Structure 1
Amino acid sequence: MPGRMHSREFKLEVLEQIESKQKSTAQVCREHQLAPSLIYRWRKELEVRGGVAFTDEKTADQALERRIAELERYVGQLALENTILKKSLANYRTRSGCK
């Protein structure tokens, strides 16, 4: 059926049913009047794009930018903690006479 739009949730639900062996691809195609090639494209997109599959590019880019910013903050926090631990270890070694 050309021209139909399917929600992200619908696509993920269909792929989950197939992946978990609840239904075969043929069953899902018959039930929802979908072409097997469409299911293949959805699988491929999910494989390539992962968690941002089936979102528009702008939304996906924004999600990726937020994730990158979150990870950069986390790396900064870990670097600070690492520096503090190194200084604490150096002070401990100095006080206890260890090298």
Structure 2
Amino acid sequence: MPGRIHSREFKLDIMNQVNGGQKTTAQLCREHALSPGLIHRWRKEVEVHGEAAFTDQAKPDPSLEQRLAELERFCGQLSLENTILKKSLATYRSRPGTK
């Protein structure tokens, strides 16, 4: 049913029932009018975020995302410089009279 908002406790209760083997996904879908895809998304959320699932802590911090992007750019720059230096060294070594 679109538009319903479920509490964190409800979601965790559903996950505990599924993971504990108390009920199947299909049983819970029928009992609570949920879609299997929704339960699957909740399960992935719990797998990825553990105790922080379904809280504001589960959302990535924008400053950390920005820092990660900066580090990825820096890593790319270093990789490019490394490639250039390797090619330069190979060219230098291939010249006659150098070792």
TM-score by length of 2: 0.57
Q: Decide which structure has the larger Cα Rg and report it.
A: 2
Q: What is the number of residues matched between the two proteins?
A: 61
Equivalence for 2:10: 10
How far does residue 58 in structure 1 lie from its aligned partner after superposition? 8.3
Deviating runs (4+, > 6 A) in structure 1? 58-61
TM-score by length of 1: 0.57
- % identical equivalent positions: 62
1:46-82 C-alpha deviation (Å, 9 max, x unpaired): 1001111001248886xxxxxxxxxxxxxxxxxxxxx
Equivalence for 1:55: 55
1:3-34 C-alpha deviation (Å, 9 max, x unpaired): 10000000000010111111110000000000
Give the distance between the partners of 2:41 and 2:58, measured in 1 at CA: 20
Q: Do structure 1's residue 20 and structure 2's residue 24 form an aligned pair?
A: no
Which ranges of structure 2 fall in alignment gaps of 5 or more residues? 62-99
Which ranges of structure 1 fall in alignment gaps of 5 or more residues? 62-99
